[in-house]
Amino acid sequence: MLKIYNTLTRKKEEFKPLHSPAVTMYSCGPTVYDYAHIGNLRAYVFNDLLVRTLRYFGYEVTQVTNITDVGHLTSDADTGLDKIEKGAARDKKSVWEIAEFYTDAFKEDLSELHITEPSIWAKATDHIGEMISLVSELEKRKYSYRIEGDGIYFDTSKLPDYGKLAQLDIEGLKKGARITFNPSKRNPTDFALWKFAASDEKRQMEWDSPWGSHSFPGWHIECSAMSMRYLGHAFDIDNNFYPENFETIDIHTGGVDHVAIHHTNEIAQTEAATGRQFVKYWMHNEFLLVGDSKMAKSDGNFYTLKTIKDKGFDPIAYRYFLLSAHYRTQLNFTWEALSGAAIAYNNLKKEVSLLRAESGEPADEFIQRFREYIGNDLAMPQALALLWEVVGSELPDSVKKATILEMDKILGLGLADVNPFSIPIDVQKLLDERITARNNKDYKKSDEIRDLLKVKGFEVEDTKDGVTVKPLS
């Protein structure tokens, strides 16, 4: 049985896809105006662990991840600059160049972290037609209204269960409206579906639409449109929207910071347009902290994967670090903690390199426990601890290796690529001399050679099965 935590119900539930073994999964992707920081990347390691686990349990996963290259404003209140336009001005490049450059950089980060790419990459600017059709449907159903000079907004008061994902206190928000309320909006929670560029604003990305030519999509609308295009089957080849064809999506993932606004608004606009449940299971990973604060570009307290590499760390040491905490718990990043993870990861690779036998069949008793851990809402810290239990076990090398490699199908640490340990020629010569000395009962010379090998960085152990040699830690 596979159980996952559903943010919508606030409890762990047995996973039951709508059309098993097929699973539809949408993962919120990056806004490509800058390098992703390692806090962002935690979300994609979580996505990867989830996809690997689903496939391990026999499901056929179709995962869509979006690339946000337009419409994400610097404020969640639908104000400020478009982040892509801001990035283009900063780097003195076109918005198209900025989006392509940082998309490529993001995909390279995924590769270096052993993150499986999604089945489909969906770029926002390739799906403007679907977004226009969806906004038009909401307009037809009387869920939207126009603010002159600003945009087309979703009227959240028309949806009785608005805010159910975040369990928002709508009345409380209304009471605080005099402090934060945009007076042009009907309700403080209303959000932009489509934006109008200001008359003095020179945008590089804008489109003709039923609401004007100097306009562009809001941020939230893209995820609804693209998930319904590829997973919900609600659009035809000409981007016409057919709400009656929509099929509920199994899983939607993202960072916990998306719960209150972005995912709440996705639910609102999609369910208003279709009259059906948008997503069955919502899954969110927690923040990566620096000190007591969330890692964020806006606060300037962030590190990129390049920062980690420049300090001499293997990117997979960061993946190992993330495995040490459950995806739903906050994790504090320090260089000391990453160093500890790197040491542990290097020791793990060394232990694997010493398994000289060919891989055999995995040990059922360990694999069963491993399945129980990963099937319990991706309990990766317990799964990682079990991996070390296998390393220290008395299993034959062939069984031990097979068990470790089976577990690594989920953990993604690249252990199948670890080269077997080979003994240098000069070290082998000393070992042969030591064997001769022991056979001649010259224990003094045997001990001297052992000490010399230790100086060279190798540990020799005499066992009932013979002599073993391995590099010192």
pLDDT at 120: 98
Amino acid at 411: L
12 and 101 both lie in a single domain:
yes
300 and 441 both lie in a single domain:
no
Element (H, E) at 289: strand 288-290
393 and 460 both lie in a single domain:
no
Last residue of one domain, picked from the residues 237, 261, 285? 285
85 and 157 both lie in a single domain:
yes
Asked if 115 and 305 count as a contact pair (C-beta separation under 8 A), the reply is no
pLDDT at 473: 64
pLDDT at 419: 86
389 and 459 both lie in a single domain:
no
Residue with tokens 């805010």: 163
Residue with tokens 């990867």: 48
Last residue of one domain, picked from the residues 257, 285, 313? 285
User: What CATH number is given to the structural domain containing 380?
Assistant: 1.20.120
243 and 353 both lie in a single domain:
no
410 and 457 both lie in a single domain:
no
Q: How many domains does the chain have?
A: 3
Threshold 0.85, pTM exceeds: yes
251 and 228 both lie in a single domain:
yes
Radius of gyration of the CA atoms of the chain, in A: 27
Residues in CB range of 148: below 8 A, 6 or more apart: none
198 and 262 both lie in a single domain:
yes
CA distance 435 to 427: 12
pLDDT at 171: 67
pLDDT at 416: 94
411 and 429 both lie in a single domain:
no
pLDDT at 172: 62
413 and 430 both lie in a single domain:
no
DSSP state of 325: S
Residues in CB range of 196: below 8 A, 6 or more apart: 149, 150, 151, 211, 212, 214, 215
pLDDT at 425: 84
pLDDT at 295: 80
pLDDT at 173: 53
- pLDDT tens for the 473 residues of the chain, in order: 899 999 999 999 999 999 999 999 999 999 999 999 999 999 999 999 999 999 999 999 999 999 999 989 888 778 888 899 889 889 999 999 999 999 999 999 999 999 999 999 999 999 999 999 999 999 999 999 999 989 999 999 999 999 999 987 766 655 544 445 678 899 999 999 999 988 777 788 899 999 988 899 999 999 999 999 999 999 999 999 999 999 999 999 999 999 999 999 999 999 999 999 999 999 999 999 988 788 877 767 789 999 999 999 999 999 999 999 999 999 999 999 999 999 999 999 999 998 877 878 999 999 999 999 999 999 999 999 999 999 999 999 999 999 999 999 999 999 999 988 877 888 888 888 998 998 898 989 999 988 888 888 888 888 766 677 788 76
Last residue of one domain, picked from the residues 285, 301, 334? 285
- Judged by DSSP in three states, 22 sits in strand
396 and 441 both lie in a single domain:
no
Asked if 296 and 304 count as a contact pair (C-beta separation under 8 A), the reply is no
* Residue ranges making up the domain that contains 335: 293-417
pLDDT at 394: 92
